Amino acid sequence: MHIIVKLFAQYREGRFKVEQREYPKGATAQTVIDELCLENTSPLGVLMVRGKHVQPTYTLQEGDEVALFPKVGGG
C-alpha cells in the first residue's frame, strides 16, 4: 500500500518531513511508529490520519496520510 507519512517537530530530526512509503496490507499506524523508531526520539503525542485523531491500532488504508507528532503544546 502507498502511504504518505508526515513527521513533525523533533520527529523530523534525522528523518524526513514527508515521504510516500510502502506498507503491507494490514499494517497499522503502530507499524509506522515502530519502523521509524519514533519513540526513541520522544513519546508519541498526536497521531492523525486524514486529519482525524486515531489510535496507533488503526489499520492503514491505501492512500492514507499519516501525521505523527511528539508531545507538543502551546497556546
Partner 1 sequence: MADLIYRVNMSELSFKIEEVPSKWMGLGGRGLTSTIVAEEVDPECHPLGPNNKMVFAPGLLSGTSASNSGRNSCGAKSPLTGGIKESNVGGTSAGIFSKLGVKALIIEGLPKDENTFYQLHVTKNKVEFIPVPELVGKDNYAVLDAMMAKYDKKVAVMSIGRIGEMRMNIANISVKDPSGKLRSHGRGGLGAVMGSKKIKCITVDAADYKEVTIADPEKFKEASKVFTKALQENPISGQGLPAFGTNVLVNILNEAGGLPTRNFRQGNWEHAENICGETMAENIKARGGKTTHGCHAGCVIQCSQVYNDKEGKYLTSGFEYETIWALGAHLGIQDLDLIAKMDGLMDDLGVDSIETSVVLGLAVDAGILAYGDGQKAYELLSHDIPMGTPLGRIIGAGTHILGKTYGLVRVPTVKGQGIPAYEPRAVKGQGITYATTPMGADHTAGYAVATNILNSGGHVDPLKKEGQVELARNLQIATAAVDSTGMCIFVAFAALDDAKCLPSLIDMINARFGCALTIDDVMNLGKTILRTEHEFNIKAGLNSASDRLPEFMKYEILPPHNVTWDFTGEEIDEFWNF
Q: Which residues here bind partner 1, judged by CB under 8 A?
A: 6, 8-10, 12, 17, 42-43, 45-46, 48, 51-53, 67, 69-75
Question: Closest approach of Cβ 35 to partner 1, in Å?
Answer: 20
The least CB distance from residue 36 to partner 1, in Å, is 17
Contacts of 61 (CB under 8 A, 6+ apart): 1
Helices (H), 15-68: 29-35, 38-41
Distance between CA atoms of 2 and 66, rounded to whole angstroms?
A: 11
- Residue 19 C-beta: closest distance to partner 1, Å: 15
